[in-house]
Amino acid sequence: MLRRNVNNKERINGNADIKTSNNITKAQSNLRNINAELQNATKYSTHRLWTRAVIATSLMVVVYFYSQQRHSKETKFALAKEKLPLRIEKFECSNGYKAEISRYPNCVPKKCGRFVSDQLVEHDEVEVLLDLASKILSMAGSSGGASVLNLHTGALSYKEQFVNAYRVPKVVAELKQYQLGIYNSVKNKIKEAIAEQFEIPASSLYLTDPTFFSRLTNATAKTMNDEYWHEHVDKDTYESFHYTSLLYLNTYQKDYRGGRFIFIDGNDDNPTKSAIEPKKARVSAFTSGAENLHHVEQVIEGERYAITISFTCDPDQAIPDLQIKNYN
């Protein structure tokens, strides 16, 4: 009996064991199902998170580009990679310019405007002028970012002031007749081109002061003269100017980074930019009134060389050509 009971017990125990092991298997399979569901749910929510992140990022990118465009709509007036015979744009003169220039009837442009030409001045001529400017400016130069050499007045940047270049013997020794001859002849070609494009006689245009070489770098400004990047109207900065021209002596992205010339057009609510990328032997010229508000972007790296050659219609503001007979 005892044995039977024991046997029964064993059977019962055996049955219980089987049941328990069934239960364990079931529980394990439930656990696996739960695990699988959990994994699915995690996968699904990770997927959802990614989708949301991608959508949010795309939206942010679209909003950013849209706002950038609104604030700095820019057209390229002249790219460095282009070789332009002539690109010209004409528009109405500003009222102030019109009123002032009307005192010189022969000099009034049919329309105001701006042009760029890469075929007015020869590369060989520019080489000579660049060599002259870089040699002299390397003997002196501003301790800030903008150095100038004005061969008409002799003004030469030196540290935080100006010295008279004609009183520095090693500077004078650098000046050669042929260089100054090229300087004068380049100036004349540009004057003729301005007269032709703005439909006025060349005889009504006179070279005026300041006309100067410039070297711009990224050095920290030490004086106001070093802050070359501010927006300005040439006629406000230099009263005698009626037509401004620039001859670039070296090339954006090749010799330096930054330093593009930017016209600011449109109005305060909707300003637009028109960019000129300077390049060797490129001439840019424009009427000097408020119709041609502009600035130079800060140079990021390298040295940017140019000559600002300025013209007036007022004979009283004229300056003579460089005298070359005193040099070797």
Ligand X SMILES: O=C(O)CCC(=O)C(=O)O
Binding interface with ligand X (CB under 6 A): 214, 234, 246, 261, 294, 296, 306, 308
Least separation in angstroms between residue 171's CB and ligand X is: 22
- The residue (of 181 and 271) whose beta carbon lies closer to ligand X is 271
- The residue (of 179 and 215) whose beta carbon lies closer to Fe ion is 215
> Catalytic: which of 114, 215, 282, 304?
304
- To the query of whether residue 260 is one of the catalytic residues in this protein, the response is no
Least separation in angstroms between residue 229's CB and ligand X is: 9
Q: Is 136 left (phi over 0), alpha (psi -120 to 50) or beta?
A: alpha
Q: How far is CA 102 from CA 97, 109, 160, 258, 313, in A?
A: 8, 10, 39, 37, 10
Contact between 226 and Fe ion (CB under 5 A)? Answer: no
Handedness of CA 231, 240, 314, 87 (dihedral sign): negative
Q: What angle do CA 239, 320, 233 make, to 5 degrees?
A: 20
- The residue (of 78 and 306) whose beta carbon lies closer to ligand X is 306
The whole-angstrom separation of Cα 245 and Cα 39 is 71
Name the nearest CA neighbour of 80 among 254, 228, 217, 218.
254
- The listed partner (Fe ion, ligand X, none) that binds 214, CB under 5 to 8 Å by sort, is ligand X
Based on C-alpha coordinates, what's the Rg of the chain? 37
Q: CA torsion angle for 78, 81, 87, 89 (degrees, to 10)?
A: -20
- The residue (of 191 and 260) whose beta carbon lies closer to ligand X is 260
**DSSP notation for 188-256:** HHHHHHHHHHHT--GGG-EEEEEEEEEEE-SPPP-SGGG-TTS-B-HHHHSTT-SEEEEEE-S-BTTTE
Tokens of 57: 């990022």
The whole-angstrom separation of Cα 227 and Cα 238 is 16
Give the helix/strand (H/E) hosting 266: strand 261-266
- The residue (of 214 and 287) whose beta carbon lies closer to ligand X is 214
Give the helix/strand (H/E) hosting 67: helix 2-71
Least separation in angstroms between residue 214's CB and ligand X is: 6
Least separation in angstroms between residue 51's CB and ligand X is: 49
- Residue from 234, 255, 277, 291 that binds Fe ion (CB under 5 A)? 234
- The residue (of 198 and 252) whose beta carbon lies closer to ligand X is 252
**In sequence order, which residues have a C-beta less than 8 Å from that of residue 265 and are 6 or more positions away?**
271, 272, 273, 274, 293
Polymer length of the chain: 328
C-beta neighbour count of 235 within 10 angstroms: 22
Least separation in angstroms between residue 102's CB and Fe ion is: 23
- In the complex, which residue's CB is closest to Fe ion? 234
Catalytic residues: 304
Q: Which parts of this chain interact with Fe ion (CB under 5 A)? A: 234
